A = this chain, B = another copy of it.
């Protein structure tokens, strides 16, 4: 399990074995079952997660009980309710398992300590934050420039595996259309 995390970090910054052991000592390893919640809307956000295996959804439940998918998180992704995690406020969104999922979890305190004690890691998180920002901006751009069918095809092209693993209802929610409309696109 640890190797996955090590390989992931080393894509951006080289590490000695000792350095990695220091890093990993800040994390706890967790196993979760399908439908488990890692974060629950309205509750405190204790951790930020690195997904080793499995699949998560970051969802927002609106006032009329509709569920909106802000993001999926697959292997090799970092996920949390980041605004709430960084400001240590109540979660605006839930993070829930679509499949059985294994993660490394880091608490806010450990996150801060790690950044202070090991500057390379702060740089790592900065780069991750930048790429998250970029991904969000691309998603905004796809809303602005593309119609539903085009967004659907872009999603399939970028993440073909998702198509196999996620019910269409969730894909529709991610794309911001009704499941009926999405269904009619495929046919």
A residues contacting B by CB (< 8 A) are 60, 62, 66, 68-70, 82-83, 86, 115, 119, 122-123, 125-127, 129-130, 132-134, 136-137, 139-141, 143-145, 173, 176
Contacts and interface: CB of A to CB of B under 8 A. Distances in A.
Given A70-B141, A139-B140, A140-B143, 15 more contacts: A60-B145, A70-B137, A82-B130, A82-B134, A83-B134, A83-B137, A86-B127, A115-B123, A122-B122, A125-B126, A129-B130, A136-B139, A136-B140, A140-B140, A144-B173
21 contacts: A60-B145, A68-B141, A68-B144, A70-B137, A70-B140, A70-B144, A82-B130, A82-B133, A82-B134, A86-B127, A119-B122, A126-B126, A129-B129, A129-B130, A129-B133, A133-B136, A136-B136, A136-B137, A140-B143, A143-B176, A144-B173
Contacts of A143: 140, 143, 176
Contacts of A83: 134, 137
A150 to B, nearest CB: 11
Number of copies of chain A assembled together: 2
Contacts of A86: 127, 130
The 5 A-B pairs at the shortest CB distance, nearest first, are namely: A136-B136, A68-B144, A129-B129, A133-B133, A83-B134
